[in-house]
Structure 1
Amino acid sequence: MFSQKLLIFVGVALFIAINFIVMTMSSRESIPTSGIERLFITITSPVQQAVTTTIHFTQNVWDTYFMSVLAVKENIELKKQLGKAIEIKNRYEELELENTRLKKFVNFTGQVLDTYVAAQIIARDPSPWFKTIIIDKGAKDGLVKGSPVVVSEGIVGQTIKVANDYSRVLLITDRNSAVDALVQNSRVRGIVKGNNEDNCSFVYALRKDEMKEGEMIISSGLDQVFPKGLKIGRILKVTKVHSQLFQDITIETSVDFDRIEEVLVFKNDR
């Protein structure tokens, strides 16, 4: 075992010495002409070429790896920047939509003499038996039980429970809701009742009264809750039964309750 290690050591040392001699001789201006030099060059050139090729290959691999790492880092950073840009764009679009809704409020409130407070809808009742929402304004903002809640499109409902910072609003589509109303053109009176669906019913309109589809129903102001003249909805369907004293009238509400996000609440200082 010792002799094999010694032979390997001697061989490596000899190889290094030969390479050193050849490199020294190759650096001279004159081209080697002796047989020994040519023999040395013949023996060592393939090895030197292999070593050089291996070094170049290793360097190329390292450069490629290094560039790949930089590319991955740069890609991650660009994705972060893109994500931030998309987030800013979404916020900007959301602000634009909110600005459009608030402009409608401003135009609407310019025609109303009562004082009001703007509120955000923060929760909706998931139960199919109740149609209510929670808003982020309450007693400290001047709200009381029975405060009318509206948007620019029409009546939303009225507050039924008021805490210091929050209020629960009963929508006009709830079956417990009732709004004294009249037909805008003919002035026929009736009551708008909720039925826990998207539409409402206009009840107590006499069968003899002329009612047409598409006519607007507005608040009469006689219930002492909602100011007179606020939109409620349009007549969607009229059914007259000779054996009944009143007509069956279905109303399509002016407000899309699935899409509203902000509301106006009239304060109790009228």
Structure 2
Amino acid sequence: MFSRRMLIAVGIGLFVAINLIVISLTSRQNFDVQGPENVLITLTAPFQLAVQRSVYFVSTVWKNYFACVSAARENTVLKQQLTLAEQIENQNRELTVENARLKKFLAFSSTASGTYVAARVIARDPSPWFKTLMIDKGERHGLKKNAPILVPEGIVGQITKVSPNFSRVLLITDRNSAVDALVQTTRARGMVKGNGDSSCSFVYALRKEKIQAGEVIVSSGLDQVFPKGLKIGTVLAVKKDHSHLFQDIIIQTSVDFDKLEEVLVYKQ
């Protein structure tokens, strides 16, 4: 008995042999197909067509597969290049914005009297009851406790704690902060105290003083901490109560504390 594998092998061998004979016969010039040869060609032609189409189909699928694989790889590489380009573009934007800020700092420090040390804001107090931040400069950079912290827009606060490489800054919006100040136009005296939010109060301004919304409040220099004439903010609202000796004045600080990234430390 012949095994199934042997029968399949014999069948394939006969099929290949018949195809070779047919190809040899049909390749002759002026060959007239007749008799048994005509029958042979008739029987094998459909198989040859099927084999040819199968080979073409497999070849096409194989080429398309490699084309898809190549396109997928190229797409991955292009995505990586696009991501890198976007990162570089974003870094360039950040450098442009930072360069503009530092130019303002340089212009301010070159026109103002005294010596300044530039520092970066590295942390903020998350507590809603305290308005403080940390900077990356300390005793090794010549900083001391109570040193004023400024930006070109105005007063930020003062150092309350200093370590070799870092310092804690109390913002003027903190309730524990106080800056001796005056109205720039009328020279009316008072004290700027923090309200624990983005605003401050101008307290101890006598009721007789004429103070209006929009007027600028600056440091007086009498507290021996902040240099004279530094901008603190502008008057938002004024309330006079005839039963009180002092006015109730709310001011908006000139510094946007939520956007602070760099500051200047004034070295006395």
The answer on 1:74 being equivalent to 2:66 is no
C-alpha offsets along residues 223-270 of structure 1, whole Å, 9 cap, x if unaligned?
000000000000000000010000000000000000111000012xx3
Instruction: Decide whether aligned partners of structure 1 residues 110 and 37 sit closer, same or farther in structure 2, where only a CA change above 3 A counts.
Output: same
Alignment of 1:151-230 (within 5 A): 151-230=151-230
In the alignment, which residue of structure 1 is the partner of 2:51? 51
Aligned residue for 1:258?
258
Counterpart of 1:256, as a letter, is: D
Residue 102 of structure 2: aligned partner: 102
Equivalent-residue separation in structure 2 for 1:225 and 1:79 (angstroms): 55
Structure 2 CA distance for aligned equivalents of residues 92 and 257 of structure 1? 24
Task: Say whether the 8 Å CA contact 1:175–1:196 is kept in structure 2.
Answer: yes
- Structure 2 SS opposite 1:30: coil
CA contact (8 A) 1:32 1:38 kept: no
The structural deviation recorded for 1:6 is 5.3
* Residue identity matched to 2:227: P
Deviates more, 1:205-214 or 1:103-112: 103-112
**Structure 2, unaligned runs of 5 or more:** none
How much does 1:16 deviate? 2.0
Contact persistence 1:25–1:32 (CA under 8 A) = no
Letter in 1 for 2:161: K
- Return the letter of the residue paired with 2:62: W
Match of 1:86 in 2: 86
Partner of 1:243, secondary structure, is coil
Q: Take 1:237 and 1:22, find their aligned partners in 2: how far apart are those partners? A: 107
Deviation of residue 2 (structure 1)?
2.5
**TM-score normalised to structure 1 length:** 0.96
C-alpha distance in 2 between matches for 1:102 and 1:3:
89
Q: Deviations over 1:208-231 (max 9, x none)?
A: 110010000000000000000000
Letter paired with 2:36 = I
Q: CA deviation at 1:51?
A: 0.6
Paired residue secondary structure (1:116): strand
Whether the 8 Å CA contact 1:184–1:217 is kept in 2: the answer is: yes
Please give the secondary structure, in 2, of the residue aligned with 1:33: coil
The 1:214/1:4 distance shift into structure 2, 3 A limit, reads closer
Question: Is it true that 1:128 corresponds to 2:120 in the alignment?
Answer: no
Q: What stretches of structure 1 of length at least 5 have no aligned partner?
A: none
Match of 1:30 in 2: 30
1:235 corresponds to which residue?
235
* Counterpart for residue 17 of structure 2: 17
Change (3 A) 1:257 1:10: closer
User: Residues 14 and 183 of structure 1: is their aligned pair in 2 closer, same or farther, counting only changes over 3 Å?
Assistant: same
1:10 shift after superposition: 3.8
Shift of 1:4: 5.7
Deviation at 1:119, TM superposition (A): 0.4
CA shift, 1:110, in A, is 1.9
Q: Which amino acid aligns with 2:33?
A: T
**How far, CA to CA, are the matches of 1:214 and 1:8 in structure 2?**
102
Q: Confirm or deny: 8 A CA contact 1:148 1:158 kept in the other structure.
A: yes
**1:116, 1:9 → 2: CA distance?**
94
Alpha-carbon distance, 1:33 to partner: 2.3
Amino acid corresponding to residue 156 of structure 2 in structure 1:
V
CA distance in 1, matches of 2:80, 2:255: 40
Deviation at 1:7, TM superposition (A): 4.7
Deviates more, 1:29-38 or 1:18-27: 29-38
Q: What secondary structure sits across from 2:251 in the alignment?
A: strand
Paired AA for residue 51 in structure 2? V
TM-score by length of 2: 0.97
Alpha-carbon distance in structure 1 between the residues aligned to 2:3 and 2:197: 100
